[in-house]
Amino acid sequence: MRTHTGPIGPSSPYAATTRFHDCTSTDHHDHPGTATGTGAHGRLGLALILVAAFMVVLDFSIVNVALSSIQRELHVSAASVQWVVTAYAIAFGGLLILGGRAGDLYGRRRLFLAGIGVFTAASLAGGLARDPVLLIAARVVQGTGAAMVAPAALSLITTGFAEGPRRTRALGLYGATASIGFVAGQVLGGVLVEFLSWRSVFLVNVPVGLAALLLAPHVLRESRLARAGRKLDAVGAVLITLAVAALVFAVSQIATTGIGSVPVLAPLALSILAGTAFAANEHRHADPLVRPALLHTYGLRNASTLMLLLGMWNGGEMLVLSGYLQQVLHMSPLDAGLSIAPQGMVGLATGLLGARLTRHLGIQRVLVVAGTAATAGFAALTQLPIVSGSHLPLAAVMLVGFGTAGMAFGSMVTASAGIADPDQGLVGGVINTSRQLGAATGAALLPAVADAVDRTRHTSMTVGDRAAMLAGLLTAVLATLVALKTWLGAPRHGVA
């Protein structure tokens, strides 16, 4: 059996460089909006959102690197230490939609600040934990904080920039932050664990979080819709949280217990029941958590599908490739992280150039090109070499990095286009949830494919890794087809 351990990958956070508006309107918000100007105050606000988002994304992969050290020091089994990852994933994935809507109703900056506070306190508790139960509890709280920060960060950007080139540029930088953050976690985690201890991967968040809490009230403006006569749909919130959390748990158990096991089927059944009840509640509720019509919006529907598929290939590819580099090519965790780093660097460059690409190609074509690049990258990865010395993995991960960042950026632009400000927090929650569910599925599916092929072929582990990359290739092909459909079927008033 392989020793793949895995982040159940995030969703993300990112930003821009021009003016940051308090995009509130007299129709939907508490105060009319005004621009903050193009000075340092606006740039600082955007930088703060980026840093906080980077911290949340970094936490997925940086903690994964530390699992072996945690297992040794706290004397826990391999199955138990996986809960350090799973507990975070369940809380994060389950609460994203609730977090997005809460930001719309109670204030996006307020939720952003609260989330950073919760995340920072939980990081401190995790770094000081001497008992595995306390560490896992801290990870649940940490995931809760992340579920508040992620949709609030995205909606602060989409309400802070009018739809058009400025928002596109901002979302490109937002996507770039996620791309570099996830890979940076593997490299930084290797450095911290090797030269300090596993506790440092949690404690590194504390000074960053405290600085963000001190700066945010001075550099970010509040943004929310008017609450007159409105309240949070509590029943809907409980049902959707239960449905998503149960689904994430079910998927996370597939690799260890098998797809037909009770730990998979029972929560899956619970997820279906809760999801059905949620849909019925939303159609009856006078002020639903999620307006059913919103989910039928052309851009949001297609963007959510793309983010789901993107999460699947991204969540699984990182795990399988990391295992391949360490177990087949016998690299150290740090060297393996450095070998994957070009994927994040290309993703960063893609995000930085996102607005320019959109200007020349249009956002729909960017999605098609990104899907095609990811497909080509995975096609190359299906030919992973048995011995080191080949440049094939390097070229392939760069193509996948471009495809991942381009698809993420393009999906966020598409999802937010044409959506009124009062629903932007919810859109952030939906998009993040789609990617989280995809990553959970990919993190379970791709390593499971590799394990299954290894057991049946009784040959080099490379055969199983190639089969897993073939699964990633099929996912990328499907995403490219969805992107092509999105392009060909886009309404004339859609994103150009």
Residue 329 in 3-state DSSP? coil
Query: Cα angle vertex 445, ends 172, 451, to 5°?
Result: 130
Q: How far, in Å, CA of 478 to CA of 60, rounded?
A: 26
DSSP letter, residue 225: B
What is the distance between the alpha carbons of residues 271 and 81, in angstroms, rounded to a whole number? 25
128: tokens are: 């000081």
Distance between CA 71 and CA 77 in Å, rounded? 7
What is the pLDDT at residue 34? 34
The pLDDT of residue 14 is above 60: no
Identify whether the C-beta of residue 316 lies closer than 8 Å to the C-beta of residue 447: yes
How much is the average pLDDT of 238-257?
A: 80
pLDDT at position 273: 92
The DSSP result for 56-108, as a single string, is HHHHHHHHHHTHHHHHHHHT--HHHHTHHHHHHHHHHHHHHHHHHHHHHHH-H
pLDDT of 45 above 90: no
What percentage of the chain has pLDDT greater than the value 70?
83
Question: Do the Cβ atoms of 73 and 198 come closer than 8 Å?
Answer: yes
> Is residue 28 pLDDT above 50, yes or no?
no
C-alpha 486: how far from its chain's center? 22
Q: What is the DSSP letter of 35?
A: B
So what's the pLDDT on residue 39? 33
Closest CA to 158 of 149, 146, 148, 171: 171
User: For position 446, what pLDDT does the model report?
Assistant: 82
Question: What rounded mean pLDDT belongs to the chain?
Answer: 77
User: What is the reported pLDDT for 460?
Assistant: 60
29 secondary structure, DSSP code: B
- Rounded to 5 degrees, what are φ and ψ at 29? -125, 175
Which range of 122-126, 187-191, 456-460 scores highest in mean pLDDT? It is 122-126
Backbone angles phi, psi at 330, to 5 degrees: 60, 40
- Across 287-295, average pLDDT: 72
Q: Is the dihedral of CA 153, 157, 163, 164 positive or negative?
A: negative
Backbone angles phi, psi at 71, to 5 degrees: -60, -45
- For the purposes of burial, counting CB atoms within 10 Å of the CB of 274, is it exposed (0-12), middle (13-18) or buried (19 or more)? buried
Per-residue pLDDT tens digits for 297-336: 777 888 888 988 988 888 788 778 877 887 788 777 777 7
- Give the residue from 28, 4, 1 showing the smallest Cα distance to 419: 28
Q: Averaged over 236-251, what is the pLDDT?
A: 83
Q: Rounded to whole angstroms, how far apart are CA atoms 404 and 393?
A: 16
Sign of CA dihedral 496, 400, 172, 29: positive
Name which of 336, 444, 438, 450 is nearest 397 in CA terms: 336
Closest among 360, 370, 359 to 400, alpha carbons compared = 370
- Phi and psi torsions of 19, nearest 5°: -75, 150
How high is the pLDDT of residue 269?
92
Environment class of 234 (CB within 10 Å of its CB; exposed 0-12, middle 13-18, buried 19+): exposed
Q: Are 340 and 397 in contact (CB under 8 A)?
A: yes
Q: Which of 128, 118, 117, 283 is nearest to 210 (CA)?
A: 117
From 161, 240, 185, select the one nearest 56 (Cα to Cα): 185
- 312 Cβ neighbours under 8 A, 6+ residues apart: 438, 439, 441, 442, 445, 472, 475
Summarised one tens digit per residue, pLDDT across range 167-219 is 777 777 777 777 777 777 777 877 887 778 888 889 989 998 999 888 888 87
3-class DSSP assignment, residue 21: strand
Please say whether the beta carbons of 74 and 135 come within 8 A: yes
d(CA 477, CA 375): 6
Q: What is the pLDDT of residues 479-493, one digit of tens each?
A: 999 888 877 765 544
Model confidence pTM above 0.85:
no
Residue 19 C-alpha from the chain's centroid: 26
Who contacts 238 (Cβ-Cβ below 8 Å, separation ≥6)? none
| Helices and strands counted in the chain (H then E) | 19, 0
Between 373 and 102, whose confidence is greater?
373
Indicate if the pLDDT at residue 295 is higher than 80. Answer: no
